[in-house]
Amino acid sequence: MGFLCRSCGHSSLATVLDLGLSPLANNLPTASELGGTDERFPLETVFCERCALVQITVTVPPEILFRHYRYFSSVSETLVRHARNLVDRVLTLRPLDSKSLVLEIASNDGYLLHNYVEKCIPVLGVDPAENIAEVARGRGVPTLAEFFGNTLARKLASEGKTADVVHANNVLAHVADTNGFVEGIRTILKPKGVAVIEVPYVRDLIEKCEFDTIYHEHLCYFSVSSLRSLFLRHGLALVGAERVPIHGGSVRVWIAHEQSAQTTSGVEELLEQERSAGVDQFHFYQDFGQRVQRLRTTVRSRVTQLHADGRRLWGYGAAAKATVLLNYFDIGSDLVECVADLSPHKQGCLIPGVRIPIVSPDRLSEDPDYLLLLAWNFADEIMRQQSAYRARGGKFIIPVPELRIV
């Protein structure tokens, strides 16, 4: 049997983009492994013609991807502010108190839930990364180091731990058992509760050529159309939907039990926009591969020329995006000396595949001529942080959605 859609089980799938064999984006080897090699896995993206879900065809075991994780959300000022604003908004809409429970799936280091803790609202985080869960507990955020699914949801519900609010930011796309995850949300959500879910928006991915958000952790790439189909299958309804700018463009949906659903703010509007643009049809995706290839040619040519001219190039931002872009564009340590990253958990490691060293931004005092901005989704924050580098004449190369130098 061939690959079946992760959401509806349909077998009619059309290829959107094939990135070939790619290393795992966040499995960063240490500097002591500089001469080694990294295992690579196929990275093909397909479109389901029945439910409009875009997805990759290979599932790497989650134990490999997530049990020890180096991505700490609190490192990003933008993400911390985004989480705080979201919590403030939820609290204006929901009357939560000391008898309520807010549960977050993939709660990371407690960057979001601590905002509820500060207001004396009970919380529970669920995150499979042991190292990150330990940091969250140290911040006063109770956290289970577990993978979320319906089995865990039933266990928590049997203990009386059902949620008034469920948060799930940038996790729905990561789970192999998509339907089991959604069924877990249905199980854990109180009858009048609400789940607030954010996922990278596939329309932004395609229209802005954000190909480097495709990697093995991201199994699915959602539209509002595909989300509605998925949740309705489990008796859950979209009661709100909106586009948000985080991570290069995301969509936030508000989910409730179908029998208690009332408002549908923004849902029909976004569905109509998707129908008009053809997001629910394969033709919307057909030229994506050609546009990615043109971008590859443009960026690699410019980087190669700058290097030939004697310019020193570094990268900035050892995000998963960096692994995808550098490997697919074939930009290695012969062209980019190192990659600066603010996270101490990544410094001293290497970008998988191309094996470029990751260093502290403090070393920007060495004044490379150009920084290839690999975490382009935080461009404003990073360029603000590195204003001194820019004042000394340093320039940023922003590769996505199109090459520009600032």
Q: Per-residue pLDDT tens for 247-267? A: 889 999 999 998 776 767 899
Contacts 24+ apart (CB under 8 A), 392-396: 392/367, 393/367, 394/364, 394/367, 394/368, 394/369, 394/370, 395/369, 395/370, 395/371, 396/316, 396/370, 396/371
**Cα–Cα distance for residue pair 328/331, rounded to 1 Å:** 8
Looking at the predicted structure, is the pLDDT value of residue 2 above 90?
no
What is the residue whose two structure tokens read 């996790």?
171
Name the least confident of 146-150, 245-249, 282-286. 245-249
Q: In the structure encoding, which two tokens stand for residue 114, read together? A: 């601590």
Q: Is-contact 186 235, C-beta < 8 A? A: yes
Nearest CA to 204 out of 218, 222, 220 is that of 222
Nearest CA to 211 out of 382, 381, 43 is that of 43
- Which helix (H) or strand (E) is 250 found in, with range? strand 250-257
Over range 152-171, report the average pLDDT: 97
Helix ranges (H only) for 171-244 are 178-188, 202-207, 224-232
Over range 286-303, report the average pLDDT: 97
Q: What is the pTM of this model?
A: 0.91
pLDDT for 223 equals 98
By three-state DSSP, how is residue 31 classified?
Answer: helix
Q: Where are the beta strands (DSSP E) in 288-376?
A: 313-316, 339-340, 358-359, 370-373
Q: Is-contact 24 62, C-beta < 8 A? A: no
With vertex at residue 189, the alpha carbon angle to CA 186 and CA 194, rounded to the nearest 5 degrees, is: 105
**Cα–Cα distance for residue pair 227/172, rounded to 1 Å:** 10
pLDDT tens for residues 28-46? 999 888 778 899 999 999 9
pLDDT for 70 equals 64
Contacts 24+ apart (CB under 8 A), 258-262: 258/232, 259/235, 260/191, 260/192, 261/237
Which amino acid would we find at residue 386?
Answer: Q
**Cβ within 8 Å of residue 21, ≥6 positions away:** 40, 41, 42, 43
**Cβ within 8 Å of residue 221, ≥6 positions away:** 45, 53, 54, 55, 173, 200, 202, 205, 213, 214
Domains observed in the chain: 65-285 (3.40.50.150), 288-405 (3.40.50.720)
**Cα–Cα distance for residue pair 171/199, rounded to 1 Å:** 7
Q: Is-contact 266 244, C-beta < 8 A? A: no
**Cβ within 8 Å of residue 158, ≥6 positions away:** none
Q: Please compute Rg for the chain using Cα positions.
A: 21
With vertex at residue 227, the alpha carbon angle to CA 53 and CA 179, rounded to the nearest 5 degrees, is: 80
pLDDT tens for residues 49-64? 999 999 999 999 887 8
Over range 268-282, report the average pLDDT: 97
Looking at the predicted structure, is the pLDDT value of residue 81 above 90?
yes
**Cβ within 8 Å of residue 107, ≥6 positions away:** 113, 125, 126, 127, 136, 141, 143, 167
How many C-beta atoms lie closer than 10 Å to residue 33's C-beta? 13
**Cα–Cα distance for residue pair 47/280, rounded to 1 Å:** 9
pLDDT for 69 equals 63
Over range 304-332, report the average pLDDT: 97
